[in-house]
């Protein structure tokens, strides 16, 4: 392991997804869930070189385009392939898209208005295209050089174009896409080992993340969506000098099969200033760190999917599934959400940790106008586990004065003085399987000793922290507060008795049979998604009815899913998985000795976003 890799490992709390598939089934939470590939997965530079030569012969071309995401180490990927081709007797001419970008100053001016100025967290989604990052004159010059080489007709000359935007060139190409997981990208950013598009030197990690989220990721996602049905090879480049890859046809067939049956994304975990010990205790395969605050169970803008064949596996970003099979995944709701998967599941671990910040989320019009998002961050807290005495902060007390509350918060921010939050915000006892309803504008936060399964709409960074208990972030710096934005969104009518009546779900029996029951845990009228819970000793069946179902085994040991399309898969306690809309009927069978409980979230019949 080289010096850079050592540095990266120190900056993260979870290892790179292994290229070796662990076939052994256990009853423990699986950190690296995979779906069977419809074709053989290969690994290594030599194997990749051989596949490229074969594809060039099939397509009768001599040009290879290595396009891909930011974070890819292009020299580490492409140079060894070029050397092997040279050993085979080919002359290799390499062109990099990095050399045809606009100047750093031009790109800075182009994206500046979307980065939120001095705001440390928020910007506005950049609506532009990747082509806008390139200098047209430089592009034309490079095209002329490539055309000149091709016109000579030298069969021993191979042209390689690599870097984000390599598919810009309309020559006949072998199209290779090098993917890179967003969690690894962030670990690289923390180690100052990667820079955003068109930026020469790495930025401070939080500045880099804001640029990634609001500019680079929207641009790069739009770009790769155009080519999802055309690529010849998909490469998982996170292994560095050991790329893992799959041919494009098998890649697309695998995602088609996934969209008709089930999927579970590859979760990843993060420490935090309030993080707890539940994940460490119940997921022993995790690396040893001080705490875990979050698990990205299903936060799909940042999750990957693992495909496996025999003893190899590769990771691809989740958005490929939506680009290729979005209608199959979302069914009747695809016209509303398009490529945006609408529901997220994540864990907030405060066992022996700290209280979450007191916070709220933006109203629908606010998030669209100020940040360019399509829909807002409406949440619920499902209490998967809790110690006696655990509580949730939710809603205002009846006699609150908004002006007094704001004055106290601003005094605290200015002078680092504590706020007696319980004089303003209600607390509610939290017990296993409670569901707290937190539509946008609702003041809230989890107390200590909860393992919250956050069932929410997909946007996930738009938290306006009003009070954070005077604690620093893990880097020792004060955590940014957003009092002004918070007060532009807080709903002060959510107070008193109304909170218990409208913001704590009361389960209602829907249906029951021998050994099973189905409950409705009604969400708030402003939530566009709803929640059910299955409870069963043996088995239970359901039908998607053209709507995606997101499920989590919240109590029990393990279950088996069987789909109408003939696949089956085991899921263990606390694992999140999805039944796509096109799967239709499915059956869940309890493998444990106690009653299984499965929570299901889904978009309502006529969602308002």
Instruction: Say if residue 459 is in the same domain as residue 515.
Output: no
What is the pLDDT at residue 14? 66
Report yes or no on 550 lying in a domain.
yes
Task: Report the CATH number at residue 123.
Answer: 3.40.50
Report yes or no on 320 lying in a domain.
no
Instruction: Say if residue 281 is in the same domain as residue 420.
Output: yes
For residue 328, count CB atoms less than 10 angstroms from its CB and return exposed for 0-12, middle for 13-18, buried for 19 or more: buried
Task: Report the CATH number at residue 590.
Answer: 2.60.120.10
Helix runs in 301-398, H state only? 319-330, 334-337, 364-371
- Report the distance separating Cα 83 and Cα 74, nearest Å: 14
Report yes or no on 541 lying in a domain.
yes
- Hunting for tokens 């085994």 — which residue is that? 553
10-residue mean pLDDT series, the chain (609 residues): 42 72 82 97 98 97 97 96 97 97 98 96 98 98 96 92 95 96 94 95 96 98 96 96 96 98 97 96 94 97 97 97 98 97 98 98 98 98 98 97 98 96 98 98 98 98 98 87 98 98 98 97 98 98 98 98 97 98 98 97 94
Report yes or no on 451 lying in a domain.
yes
Instruction: Say if residue 441 is in the same domain as residue 296.
Output: yes
Instruction: Say if residue 524 is in the same domain as residue 480.
Output: no
What is the pLDDT at residue 13? 56
Instruction: Say if residue 246 is in the same domain as residue 378.
Output: no
- Report the distance separating Cα 466 and Cα 444, nearest Å: 10
Q: Which residues pair with 263 in a beta bridge?
A: 578
Report yes or no on 58 lying in a domain.
yes
- Report the distance separating Cα 22 and Cα 16, nearest Å: 14
Q: Are 71 and 173 in contact (CB under 8 A)?
A: no
Looking at 471, 502, 533, which one is the last position of a domain?
A: 502
Q: Are 602 and 529 in contact (CB under 8 A)?
A: yes
Looking at 502, 537, 571, which one is the last position of a domain?
A: 502
Instruction: Say if residue 69 is in the same domain as residue 210.
Output: yes
Looking at 444, 477, 502, which one is the last position of a domain?
A: 502
Instruction: Say if residue 73 is in the same domain as residue 90.
Output: yes
Report yes or no on 328 lying in a domain.
no
Instruction: Say if residue 278 is in the same domain as residue 419.
Output: yes
Report yes or no on 13 lying in a domain.
yes
Q: Are 78 and 176 in contact (CB under 8 A)?
A: no
* Opening angle at CA 395, ends 391 and 398, nearest 5: 115
Instruction: Say if residue 282 is in the same domain as residue 431.
Output: yes
Instruction: Say if residue 398 is in the same domain as residue 465.
Output: yes
Q: Whole domain around residue 378: which residue ranges?
A: 273-300+341-502
Instruction: Say if residue 533 is in the same domain as residue 467.
Output: no
Report yes or no on 88 lying in a domain.
yes
Instruction: Say if residue 203 is in the same domain as residue 279.
Output: no
Domain count of the fold of the chain: 3
What is the pLDDT at residue 9? 42
The token duo for 424 is 């303003």
């Amino acid at each position: 392991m080289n010096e850079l890799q050592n540095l990266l490992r120190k900056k993260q709390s979870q290892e790179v997804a292994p290229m070796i598939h662990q076939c052994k089934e256990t009853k423990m939470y699986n950190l690296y869930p995979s779906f069977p590939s419809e074709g053989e997965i290969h690994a290594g530079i030599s194997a990749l070189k051989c596949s490229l030569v074969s594809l060039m012969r099939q397509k009768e071309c001599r040009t290879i385009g290595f396009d891909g995401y930011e974070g890819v180490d292009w020299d580490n990927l492409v140079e060894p392939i070029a050397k092997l081709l040279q050993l085979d007797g080919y002359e290799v001419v390499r062109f990099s898209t990095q050399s045809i970008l606009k100047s750093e100053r031009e790109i800075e001016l182009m994206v500046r208005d979307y980065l939120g100025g001095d705001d440390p967290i928020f910007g506005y989604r950049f609506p532009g295209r990747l082509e806008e990052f390139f200098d047209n004159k430089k592009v034309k010059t490079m095209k002329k050089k490539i055309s000149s080489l091709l016109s000579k007709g030298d069969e021993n000359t191979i042209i390689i174009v690599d870097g984000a935007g390599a598919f810009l060139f309309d020559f006949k190409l072998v199209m290779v896409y090098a993917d890179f997981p967003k969690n690894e990208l962030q670990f690289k950013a923390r180690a100052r080992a990667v820079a955003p598009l068109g930026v020469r030197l790495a930025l401070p990690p939080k500045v880099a993340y804001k640029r990634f989220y609001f500019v680079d990721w929207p641009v790069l996602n739009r770009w790769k969506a155009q080519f999802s049905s055309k690529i010849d090879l998909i490469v998982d480049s996170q292994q560095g000098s050991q790329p893992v890859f799959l041919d494009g046809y098998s890649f697309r067939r695998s995602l088609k099969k996934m969209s008709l049956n089930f999927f579970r994304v590859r979760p990843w975990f993060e420490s935090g200033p309030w993080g707890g010990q539940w994940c460490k205790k119940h997921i022993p395969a995790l690396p040893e760190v001080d705490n875990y605050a979050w698990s990205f169970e299903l936060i799909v803008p940042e999750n990957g999917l693992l495909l496996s064949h025999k003893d190899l596996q590769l990771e691809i970003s989740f958005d490929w599934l939506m680009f290729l099979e979005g209608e199959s995944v979302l069914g009747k709701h695809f016209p509303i959400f398009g490529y945006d998967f609408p529901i997220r599941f994540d864990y907030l671990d405060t066992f022996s940790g700290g209280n979450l910040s007191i916070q709220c989320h933006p109203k629908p019009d606010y998030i669209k106008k100020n940040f360019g998002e399509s829909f807002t961050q409406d949440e619920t807290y499902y209490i998967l586990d809790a110690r006696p005495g655990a509580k949730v902060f939710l809603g205002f007390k009846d006699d609150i004065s908004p002006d007094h509350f704001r004055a106290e918060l601003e005094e605290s921010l200015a002078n680092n003085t504590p706020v007696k939050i319980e004089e303003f915000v209600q607390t509610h006892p939290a017990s296993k399987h409670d569901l707290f309803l937190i539509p946008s504008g609702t003041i809230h936060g989890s107390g200590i000793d909860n393992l919250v399964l956050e069932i929410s709409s997909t946007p996930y960074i738009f938290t306006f922290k009003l009070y954070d208990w005077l604690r620093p972030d893990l880097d020792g710096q004060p955590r940014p507060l957003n009092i002004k934005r918070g007060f532009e969104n807080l709903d002060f009518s959510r107070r008193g008795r109304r909170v218990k009546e409208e913001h704590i779900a009361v389960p209602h029996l829907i249906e029951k049979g021998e050994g099973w029951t189905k409950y409705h845990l009604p969400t708030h009228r402003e939530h566009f998604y709803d929640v059910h819970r299955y409870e069963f000793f043996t088995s239970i069946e359901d039908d998607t009815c053209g709507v995606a179902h997101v499920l989590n085994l919240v109590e029990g040991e393990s279950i088996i899913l069987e789909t109408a399309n003939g696949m089956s898969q085991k899921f263990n306690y606390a694992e999140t998985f999805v039944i796509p809309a096109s799967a239709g009927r499915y059956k869940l069978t309890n493998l444990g000795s106690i009653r299984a409980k499965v929570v299901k979230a889904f978009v309502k019949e006529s969602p308002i976003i």
